[in-house]
């Protein structure tokens, strides 16, 4: 089966998509190259960037817009690798053009945007795909299957950490650190991957109690957030996201009745990043884990391989917009809890709720402080007159 793809945007993440497509058949059973996934076009507003990208990855055609792409060809998949604020408008354009959009994280800036996208899915009969590559890879799949089979027992406690470092130069890019373009700070743009992996294992969340702060960066959005999350199955997790941590790590630890599973990595993992520590009396789990956790590493190629496999099997491609909504709803709940100093329950945020249309919701506490500080000098001048 020949799969055709086009990529919109030519930034760093677009290069990751192209590399994954080019090497898809290297590690994905059932996918062949070069016929398995063929890049047929690249879209960028800058013709020079488009040409450079096309030359590097042997893409036969460049386009200045998605509309132009879809007028000339209709690829099976269109990978949206642009800044977050454009994700949903472009995905809607792709759906209405008859192709399947694969949307980089975050898939939308808000729950309202994601629901509008789902409405267009229903209108067109085409399903969009959210890009959450940490779900994929042998370690995560082994953990989910062992849990589903009852081998691990009930999940009890979890720790989910994304402790990264981004300096002020990183935020010099115009769309970064702004609510209306990026949608949020590390909660939305960085820790969302690890949070999504946590949800893919533990299932639906129930309540969130959180804090968020702007500790060091001169951004509109937070640079740190922390939350206590309870799950429908009774598990309790702490979730910590940071962009001010010089010693960088991504970490997921889940304590089950019969074992502790732990993942320590940075931007992706293989079998060596996972460990399983059986509880006394469950030592046989170690051998089972060793057999299952070795294989495909996480990454874009892992999810693309799963998408191709689903297409060949005639089943829904992972990750659906419904799946992605569960993750985005956790991010929205974290912001709502942090900014309103309340506990947020699943289902609380819907149409009419201030955090439904924007992750900023009622406003970040530090924005009010900054506004007051900026107004203070003029107030003092008035008083002195």
Give the residue ranges of DSSP H helices in the chain.
12-22, 24-27, 47-57, 66-72, 87-96, 111-124, 138-148, 179-182, 186-189, 192-202, 284-292, 300-313, 321-340, 365-384
CA–CA dist 14, 8 (Å, integer): 8
pLDDT of residue 34: 38
Token pair 């209306």 is found at: 180
Tokens of 183: 């949608």
Give pLDDT, residue 333: 98
Residue indicated by tokens 């996480």: 298
Q: CA of 66: how far to CAs of 55, 94, 225, 325, 346, in Å?
A: 19, 7, 35, 25, 36
Domains of the chain: 3-132 (3.40.50.720), 134-297+319-345 (3.30.360.10)
Q: Is the pTM here over 0.75, yes or no?
A: yes
Is pLDDT of 164 > 80? yes
- The β-bridge relationship of strands 37-43 and 3-8 is parallel
Verify cis geometry, omega within 30 degrees of 0, for the bond prior to 106: yes
Mean pLDDT of 2-12: 95
- The radius of gyration of the chain's CA atoms, rounded to the nearest angstrom, is 22
Q: For the residues 350-379, what does the mean pLDDT come to?
A: 80
Q: With cut-offs at 50, 70 and 90, classify the pLDDT of residue 30.
A: very low
What percent of the chain stands above pLDDT 90? 89
**Given a cut of 80, is residue 1 above it in pLDDT?**
no
């Amino acid at each position: 089966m020949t799969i055709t793809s086009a990529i919109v945007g030519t930034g760093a993440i677009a290069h990751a998509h192209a590399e994954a497509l080019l090497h898809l058949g290297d590690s994905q059973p059932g996918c062949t190259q070069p016929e398995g996934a063929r890049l047929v076009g690249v879209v960028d507003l800058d013709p020079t960037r488009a040409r450079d990208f096309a030359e590097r990855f042997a893409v036969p055609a460049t386009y200045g817009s998605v509309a132009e792409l879809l007028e000339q060809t209709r690829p099976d998949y269109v990978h949206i690798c642009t800044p977050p604020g454009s994700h949903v408008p472009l995905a809607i354009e792709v759906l209405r053009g008859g192709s399947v959009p694969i949307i980089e994280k975050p898939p939308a800036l808000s729950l309202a945007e994601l629901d509008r996208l789902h409405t267009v899915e229903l209108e067109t009969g085409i399903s969009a795909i959210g890009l959450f590559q940490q779900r994929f890879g042998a370690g995560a799949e082994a953990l989910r299957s062992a849990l589903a089979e009852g081998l691990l027992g009930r999940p009890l406690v979890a720790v989910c950490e994304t402790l990264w470092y981004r300096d002020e130069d990183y935020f010099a890019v115009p769309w970064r650190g702004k609510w209306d373009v990026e949608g949020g700070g590390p909660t939305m743009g960085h820790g969302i991957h690890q949070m999504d992996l946590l949800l893919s294992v533990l299932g639906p969340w129930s309540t969130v109690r959180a804090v968020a702060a702007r500790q060091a960066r001169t951004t509109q959005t937070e640079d740190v957030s922390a939350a206590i999350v309870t799950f429908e199955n009774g598990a309790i997790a702490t979730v910590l996201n940071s962009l001010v941590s010089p010693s960088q790590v991504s970490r997921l630890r889940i304590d089950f009745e019969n074992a502790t599973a732990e993942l320590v990595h940075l931007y992706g993992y293989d079998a060596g990043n996972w460990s399983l520590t059986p509880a006394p009396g469950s030592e046989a789990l170690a051998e089972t884990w060793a057999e299952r956790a070795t294989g495909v590493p996480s990454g874009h190629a892992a999810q693309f391989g799963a998408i191709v496999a689903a297409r060949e099997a005639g089943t829904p491609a992972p990750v659906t917009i419904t799946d992605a909504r569960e993750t985005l709803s956790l991010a929205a709940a974290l912001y709502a809890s942090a900014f309103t100093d309340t506990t947020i329950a699943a289902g609380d945020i819907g149409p009419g709720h201030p955090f439904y249309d924007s992750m900023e919701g009622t406003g970040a506490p530090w924005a009010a402080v900054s506004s007051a500080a900026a107004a203070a000098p003029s107030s003092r001048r008035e008083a002195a007159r």
